[in-house]
Amino acid sequence: MASAAHIEQDSDRGGQPSLKRVMGPGLLLLFIVGDVLGTGIYALTGTVAAEVGGVVWLPFLIAFLVALITAFSYLELVTKYPQAAGAALYTHKAFGIHFLTFLVAFAVMSSGITSASTAARAFSANAAAVLDVDLGEGIGITLIGLGFMTLVALVNVRGVGESVKANVVLTCVELSGLLIIIGIGVWALGIGEGDFSRVTEFDTGDKSVLTGVIAATGLAFFAMVGFEDSVNMAEETKEPRRIFPKVLLLGLGITGLIYVLVSISAIALVPADQLSEGETPLLQVVEAGAPAFPLGLFGVITMFAVANTALINMLMASRLVYGLGREGVLPPVLGRVHARRRTPVTAILFTTALAFGLVTFVGAVPDLGGTTALLLLMVFAVVNVAVLVLRRRPADEGHFRTPTVLPVVGALACAYLATPFAGRPAVQYQIAGVLLGVGVVLWGVTVLLNRRTGRDAAEFDPAALSGDDPQQHRD
């Protein structure tokens, strides 16, 4: 959260306090890299391999390219409107439709919950592997996941807001696990072990190659999300119009390269059919390529990486719900703050309850991770269109301008990957539909309450939806 030390007076805002600009290129780069790295590559490499076989690196590469195109749209918007709130703010400025702004904000919130639930499941699977106990696929894994989410909620209620310095440490830990995998792959190549010929083998089962790759890309996209959260750091970044473009693109390039190298190392050391078994694919890679390496240590690194993903996502989701409740867009009870802890306790309970439902009744990592990607692909499609709409309106000179073709391609690509034509399972639409349906019902209830009490929430401020904690993390 923004502490008092990070607040300064801003004369451009009529004397209202604004966030202090403390982030330079180095810290912003670490924030972006740390934001993208996480559960996706640790938990879904095997699932992607099951879709395409040995070319498991290809869906990650395509997902990177789609994310890169969308990143150009975010760059134009964040340098044009260097404020927090991200997609909700851009949607509101472009279309001015409050319900659409709400849906975008609630979709972002829901993606945080599905991502945290994915992390909970991955945490459970890795905990079982580290402890060397067989919990099966049922109640044992579910109970650990629920216990983990309970712990996350308690930490959230206590009032943990991750500082930029803490993010540096967490990024280094997450990155170390992936560098270990790459190092093992390089070692195997150097001594002639592993089968690197697998990296060109397609195995899409009864699907065509194109259909299989597209379906795998829709899932691999989960590993690339998180970069969009960096726009919420705009108000704390020094000279955002100057440094954001090069730093965001560099950060995405680094993470994309790491993901491709990790997936190549993984498939060279473990065949696709084995890599797709279970929910701890990278643990299998370490065991196969470096049997002398302490497997428990790598398991702990993995657990730490996915735990960080869950915590930051639940912090983000609860703050968004809190902001919506505070603005009168959702029931005001969700905007209540704990008197002593000063944390949004009812919003935390609400988002945790939704996560409990997902962990209990959905559970599967591919379904939860795929739903996260689905929700954000829909948001990204809106953002790409917003870029084109907002070009009709005057703005200060000097902001970044992306080539017009990129938001067009980005909108079409994101929209297509969010459709059933991309091979997306029906269960992902069901999960997303239930979550958004909950939001719509609460919206309707709030409208009725506002009419009865005479409260006007029609002019809510999208910038307030980011809450007090600008540090969001999804993947």
Report the pLDDT averaged over residues 320-343: 81
pLDDT digits (tens, 9 = 90+) for 39-89: 788 888 999 999 999 999 999 999 999 999 999 999 898 888 876 667 888
What Rg, from alpha-carbon coordinates, does the chain have? Answer: 21
Phi then psi dihedrals of residue 23, to 5 deg: -95, 125
Report the pLDDT averaged over residues 382-406: 86
Instruction: Tell the burial category of 323 from Cβ atoms under 10 Å away from its Cβ (0-12, 13-18, 19+).
Output: buried
| Least confidently predicted of 41-55, 233-247, 315-329, 335-349 | 233-247
Query: Does 361 have pLDDT greater than 70?
Result: yes
Closest CA to 286 of 302, 272, 273: 302
The pLDDT of residue 470 is 36
Q: What is the mean pLDDT of the chain?
A: 82
pTM of the model: 0.84
Using DSSP, how many helices (H) and how many strands (E) does the chain show?
16, 2
Q: How far apart are the first and last CA of the chain?
A: 20
Please give the sequence-ordered ranges of beta strands (E in DSSP) within 3-69, or none if there are none.
Answer: 7-9, 17-19
The pLDDT of residue 18 is 44
Cα(331)–Cα(444) distance, rounded to whole angstroms?
A: 10
Q: How confident is the model at residue 396 (pLDDT cuts 50, 70, 90)?
A: low
Residue 16 gets the label, from left (phi > 0), alpha (psi -120 to 50) or beta, of: beta
Candidate ranges 89-93, 227-231, 342-346, 390-394; pick with highest mean pLDDT: 89-93
Helix, strand, coil abundance in the chain, percent, nearest 5: 75, 0, 25
Q: At what angle do helices 39-52 and 57-80 cross, to 10 degrees?
A: 130
| Least confidently predicted of 106-115, 137-146, 212-221 | 137-146
The pLDDT of residue 36 is 84
Query: Does 154 have pLDDT greater than 60?
Result: yes
Closest CA to 42 of 203, 134, 148, 176: 176
The pLDDT of residue 85 is 65
Cβ–Cβ under 8 Å, residues 274 and 195: no
All domains of the chain in start order, with CATH: 32-466 (1.20.1740.10)
Q: What is the dihedral of CA 356, 170, 432, 46, to 10 degrees?
A: -100
pLDDT digits (tens, 9 = 90+) for 416-470: 999 999 889 999 999 999 999 999 999 888 888 878 876 655 456 666 665 544 3
